[in-house]
Amino acid sequence: MNVLLKIWKRRSRLTRIAILAIATLTILLTCILPVLTQQRVKITVMMQALEAAQWQPMEAKFEAENPDIDLEIIEAPNATNLVEDLYTSAFLLGDSPYDLVYLDIVWVPKFAAAGWLQDLNQFISEDELAAFLDGDVNGGKYQEGLYRMPFRSDGGMLYYRSDLLAENGYDPPETFAELIDISRDLQEKGVAKWGYVWQGRQYEGLPAMFVEILAGFGAYWVNPDTLEVGLDSENAIAAVEFLRETIDEGISPPGVTTYAEEETRRLFQGGETVFLRNWPYVAGLASQSDIAGKFALKPMVHQPGYPSGACQGGWGLGMSATTKHPEEAWRVIEFISSEETQREFVLETGYLPSRRSLFNDPAIVAKYSYYPQLLEVVENSALRPPIAQYAQTSDILQRYLSAALTNTMSAEKAMKAAAAETRRLLAR
Ligand code: GLC
């Protein structure tokens, strides 16, 4: 040691600085840089832009707790079918650039049947899955496999202006007719411009909304077990006529046939409509708007004698069959679906959790008092048919329903044509 010290002291100042610089660089190159760069595995997932922004805090927390993983979130358009098209093209082109797939519940059979996803049963037990809502778990299954871990559940609801109803002596409506009557009265009194606003654009949101009207009329779309098609039944045609009536009578704006979720949310938040059909995410956002404290939500209206239907929606993570990093990808899924992450995300955004216990979680109920009631709604939901040909089935319904709503075809003609085309598709 003494010898080294003597040699060091004999060197000029410049040489000492050079030695120190070389030593620092060597340590940086050999020890620190590899940790920072080479060992970080990149896990990529794509999702709708609205949600990508909401995932930022989770992403930051995950990366802080897992310094060896770089979670990259790619933004896509907000409409579910556009995101589905982007994933589909990526898989059809070969090795998908995505390690994880953020899946809408209705894509699962198609993606699983095509062999694009890994069976997650290798990572999780039935016991662990029992903590999640049945509808969400079942929606992630295809044949014997589990292809999607549920993250957030979803169910269609009826929002109403509780202040306007109370001021005018109305209870919240139970039936379609009551909804029309209250709307008409409040519009005539000049209390609100529109009565009822819903998603009428030709996209996936249209059948999602429509299965609720079908359920409320005691009708169905496709029976997933027998593949029978119910779109041309008298009650299904009446369901379409109800929607047409809302437009013809000026209860709904003519532009409703071009609206997706966000357009309808803005009208509701802007105080322009008494009723709105939408998903639970609206409650979180509307609570920070001018109508905060002036609205409530309830299960969808229905015909007397028939049940109320909430469309089963929801999102979760699947793992791409071609990912080179299944262990790291699973760590992301585990983190995202954990109770703690879901609680924080729900508190922040107002989305529904997929873990049953969180609907009665004290912190969540303190913020959203209506959550225990929502559990009942999502546990009795109306399904879009969970079949591998769902995307084409949905396209057919979207086309004909849109033709009926825009007055290009009568409700009866449109539903008969939709039923016939769906039968031909399912017979193939
Ligand atoms: C919501 C639902 C999803 C549905 C979509 C339709 O995101 O969670 O299941 O397909 O809305 O727009």
Lookup result for tokens 């995505």: 98
Q: How remote is the C-alpha of 47 from its chain's centroid?
A: 10
What is the reported pLDDT for 19?
62
What is the reported pLDDT for 378?
87
Which CATH number describes the domain made up of 157-311+384-427? Answer: 3.40.190.10
Task: Output the CA torsion 387→391→397→402 (10° steps).
Answer: 160
Query: Given strand 194-197, what is the order of strands in its sheet?
Result: 194-197, 273-278, 157-160, 296-298
Q: Classify residue 69 by burial, with Cβ atoms within 10 Å: 0-12, 13-18, 19+.
A: buried
Candidate from 204, 206, 277 with most ligand 1 atoms within 8 A of CB, to mutate: 204
Distance CA(127)–CA(33), nearest Å, equals: 42
pTM, to two decimals: 0.87
Q: What is the mean pLDDT of residues 55-83?
A: 97
What is the reported pLDDT for 61?
98
Identical topology for domains 41-154+312-382 and 157-311+384-427: yes
Model pLDDT for residues 265-295, shown as the tens digit of each residue: 999 999 999 999 999 999 889 999 999 999 9
For ligand 1, atom 3, the nearest C-alpha belongs to 313
Domain map (residue ranges) of the chain:
41-154+312-382, 157-311+384-427
Distance CA(60)–CA(83), nearest Å, equals: 23
The mean of the pLDDT values for the chain is 93
What is the reported pLDDT for 95?
82
What is the reported pLDDT for 379?
85
For ligand 1, atom 11, the nearest C-alpha belongs to 205
Tell how strand 141-142 and strand 145-146 pair up: antiparallel
Model pLDDT for residues 116-147, shown as the tens digit of each residue: 999 999 999 999 999 999 999 999 999 999 99
**pLDDT value at 7 more than 80:** no
Candidate from 48, 54, 78, 80 with most ligand 1 atoms within 8 A of CB, to mutate: 80
For domain 41-154+312-382, give the fold: D-Maltodextrin-Binding Protein; domain 2 (3.40.190)
Q: What is the mean pLDDT of residues 241-250?
A: 98
Q: CB count, 10 Å around CB of 5?
A: 9
Model pLDDT for residues 12-42, shown as the tens digit of each residue: 666 666 666 666 656 555 555 555 556 899 9
What is the reported pLDDT for 193?
98
Asked whether 104 lines ligand 1 (CB < 6 A), one says yes
Closest C-alpha to 371, from 162, 186, 133: 133
Model pLDDT for residues 163-184, shown as the tens digit of each residue: 999 999 999 999 999 999 999 9
Helices marked H in 148-219: 162-167, 176-188, 205-216
